[in-house]
Amino acid sequence: MIRPLDGITVISLEHAVAAPFCTRQLADLGARVIKVERPGSGDFARGYDQRVKGQSSHFTWINRSKQSLALDVKQPLAKSALLELLKTADVLVQNLAPGAAARMGLSYDELKAHNPRLIVCDISGYGADGPYRDKKAYDLLIQSEAGFLSVTGTPDTPSKSGISVADIAAGMYAYTNILAALMLRGKTGEGSHIDVSMLEAMGEWMGYPMYYAYDGAPPPPRTGASHASIYPYGPFQAGDGKTVMLGLQNEREWKAFCATVLLQPDIAIDTRFDSNAQRNANRAALQAVIVETFAALTAEQVVARLEAAGIANARVNDMADLWRHPQLQARERWRTVATPEGDVPALLPPGVNSAFDYRMEPVPAVGQHNATILAELGWSAEQAAALQNSPCA
């Protein structure tokens, strides 16, 4: 079977989440991804936790289908091996500390002299220039810097995202920029330099609250699990103590909600609630009406009424519920992936494509592919073993 990125080689000096998330998606599409790690310890994300058969949950999630090459690139011999690989590679991805790649002679300007077709993607917190260029950045810090915390949480308590949303955003834009660069290279024959910053990725995702606060207007309030500007849209408790999540998007749905769910059609034309702006301004009063109605019903009965009215709703699932979600099972989204400590289940990437299947290959051990990769450069098994076991600078 032919995959979109078959024949593409990606070298990645990566750690943590942003760059590995990007390159795993390239691997999903068939690219050969050579992950360069420190001998011994490897990517420090390997040590984040031990939740997956003694292995890190983050690492298991975003490092399948890659080859691990253990190199201390501060050592001259190891660096020469890396440069040799880059002479024929298609893409270099790196999210090292600010300026680290350039100090090692791995800037785009230096590398393109040896490989004009090379695409270099640098992922950083704040970008390659500007006053924040050299500032360290981690996911939570970027969530804060980008204003994400100001609109997330409760009125009393700002809250971070429960996932590494800034890293994921940067990884997604790196991934799509690389795909675009590969398409452009197909037209021009030349590589390019991509500069992705976590702040700019999150800035794009913050477009709605920024425009909501346009020209000095008040920003969206922090409203917990409820929508900041649409109401009713969020969690409501039923009489059995269970929570139902529901969402209304337009006036047609509002009228159906009043008639079929609340059984109070006149509420729809109450001047306090007859537009979203009014419902939003009078949340407390409307919430009291909804809660009073739901108190006499079980969550199952509430959902039945919502379905009858054509109102969107959802369960408030936890991770155990997601693991066994019936929709994922019905669509056969689970596969098995090997790891150094045994097989684990893994979700297929989003998007069912009729033309190809995604690549779902093992998560590598540190340096697992040194002998194979270095043999392609003409190194002997003894030389490869000596390089892998050399102390890090």
From the list 363, 367, 393, the residue with the least C-alpha distance to 39 is 367
Identify the active-site residue in 114, 227, 325, 369: 227
**Residue 248 region, left (φ>0) first, then alpha (ψ -120 to 50), else beta?**
beta
Give CA angle at 208 (203, 213), nearest 5°. 95
Beta-carbon contacts of residue 281 (< 8 Å; ≥ 6 apart)? none
Amino acid at 316: V
Buried b (16+ CB within 10 A) or exposed e, 324-336: eeeeeeeeebeee
Asked whether 59 and 28 are in contact (CB, 8 A), the reply is no
Distance CA 244, CA 302 (A): 8
CA dihedral 124, 130, 136, 140 (to 10 degrees): -70
Nearest of 120, 123, 91 to residue 5 by alpha carbon: 91
* Known active-site residue 114: no
DSSP one-letter string for 269-338: G-TTTSSHHHHHHTHHHHHHHHHHHHTTS-HHHHHHHHHHHT-EEEE---HHHHHT-HHHHHTT-EEEE-
- Provide the residue type at 115 as one letter: N
Q: How far apart are CA 369 and CA 144, in angstroms?
A: 39
Q: How far is CA 79 from the centre of its chain?
A: 30
Sorted by sequence, the CB contacts under 8 Å of residue 332 that are 6+ apart come out as none
Q: Which residue has the tokens 């998330």?
A: 21
Amino acid at 137: A
How far, in Å, are 4, 105, 176, 289, 295 from residue 183 at the CA level? 11, 27, 11, 55, 57
| Spatial CB neighbours of 193, under 8 Å, sequence gap ≥ 6 | 108, 119, 120, 122
Yes or no: say if 279 and 247 are a contact pair by the CB < 8 Å rule.
Answer: no
Active site residues: 227
